Structure 1
């Protein structure tokens, strides 16, 4: 199971947020999975006498995480009863990657 984006559904009504008019449900996502280790080989020396250098990334150094987000447009009612529109930045995960 490599690093991938998986669906996570948020239901504002189930959270008790009845003041959110739309969307009442939206799909955001989460990142999970393994990131392959990075192997780097460096070659030096003559054809008959080569030295090999092997560098292996620490397993903790590479993790599956969010690399791109998008905004979410929300229509809601405030305490005074006014209906307002707001764009909330970075609420929807668009892409995952290994970092």
Structure 2
């Protein structure tokens, strides 16, 4: 696998644009459970945590501990069937390279 640069757009979490947010004008909630149930809130948090952790791994091009290693393996599993030469395909290639490097250094 050749190393391909990951675009900053691929690393950033995509959120609704300002036009979409304008439709929510006047809707205020005291906490997230007024909008989604607890299971959905937990899923959203876990997804956000994964995005942040994967962005750190891809930005630093290294895995710093076994928790990050497990996170990278979980993300690889999620995007395993990504098409080559796409943003997800490039992310997959880079994560596999970083995981292999970590495993060669610390698990062999």
Higher strand share: 1
| TM-score higher than 0.5 | no
TM-score under structure 2 length normalisation: 0.20
Bigger Rg, structure 1 or 2: 1
